[in-house]
Amino acid sequence: MYPITLILAEDSKLVRQGMHSLLDANPNYQVLGEAENGNEALQLIETLHPDVAILDMVMPGLNGLEVIKHVKENGWQTQMIVVSMHANATYAVRALLGGALSYVLKDSDFTEIEQAIENAAHGKRYLSPLIADDVLGMLLHASLENTNSLDMLSKREIEVLQLIAEGNTNATIAEKLLLSVRTVEAHRAHIMSKLRLTSHVDLVKFAINQGLTVA
């Protein structure tokens, strides 16, 4: 198992050197090579078969996400840890869904990167605690998407949904239900938000599937 073999892909020389020297200081690690862009990283992974690749998210040429995609497509066994400046769950989730094992923030303690490498050697994930909450929130939110049902809507909302699906404008609906346009829009917005619908077409499809209207 030890030493864990690594490659390091990072376009900033300063960061790369700093990280390299910290990795070198740990006898459990053996850094096989450095890459300063995505293409070089791919070559290193293909030729050196490291246990772990540490990838920067933003690099010239191929970025981190694209490198991950290539590695996965080729079925290479190297585990990938994304080390990123982006303390943003969106980037983390995209990297993880793309096939990265772990996502670590660059400005977290170096012990986090060590932990991520340690985990990777055992095929386990690591996520920087600073963004873990957002990442989980985002993933859980996404998984709720399939539970769409009419039960989530109030009676009034179902009424508005039906009228929208039948092709009525907010103004017409307001007239029919004796509501203000603003209130109708509020109902529409609540429906869209509750059901996680992102287009008008999806809203109409939902109404059809629920038998509220016919295609």
Partner 1 sequence: MIEKTSTILVIDDEPYMHLTLDAMLAGADYHVEFADSGMQGLEKAREIHPDLIILDIMMPNMDGFEVCEQLRADPELAEVPIFMLTSLDDRQSRLTGLSVGADDFIIKPIDDLELRTRLKVLKGVNRYRHLREERENLNIALEELKIKNNQLQQLSRQVLAVQETFSRNLALELHDEIGQIITGLRYILEQPARDNPTQLEQARAVTDELLKRVRDLTLDLRPTVLDDFGLNAALDWYLRRFSQQSGLSILHNLDPFSERRVDKIIETTVFRVAQEALTNIVRHAGAKEANLTLTIDADHLQLSVLDSGCGFDPARVSPGRSSGLSGMQERANLAGGFFYLQSTPGEGTLILLDFDITSEE
Tell me which residues touch partner 1 (CB under 8 A).
12, 14-15, 17-19, 21-22, 25, 58, 85-91, 93-94, 97, 106-107, 110, 134, 137-138, 142, 180-182, 185-186, 188-190, 192-201
Q: Return the CA Rg of the chain.
A: 24
| Residue 77 structure tokens | 């066994």
Instruction: Show the beta-strand stretches assigned E in 67-191.
Output: 79-84, 102-105
CA–CA separation, 63 and 37 (whole Å): 8
Q: Write down the least CB distance from residue 192 to partner 1, Å.
A: 4
DSSP 167: T
Q: Write down the least CB distance from residue 147 to partner 1, Å.
A: 15
DSSP 127: B
Q: Write down the least CB distance from residue 58 to partner 1, Å.
A: 7
The alpha helices in 147-212, defined as continuous H runs, are 155-165, 170-177, 181-195, 200-209
Q: Does residue 51 contact residue 23 with C-beta atoms inside 8 Å?
A: no
Q: Write down the least CB distance from residue 206 to partner 1, Å.
A: 12
CA–CA separation, 55 and 102 (whole Å): 10
Q: Write down the least CB distance from residue 199 to partner 1, Å.
A: 5
> Which is closer to partner 1, CB of 90 or CB of 154?
90
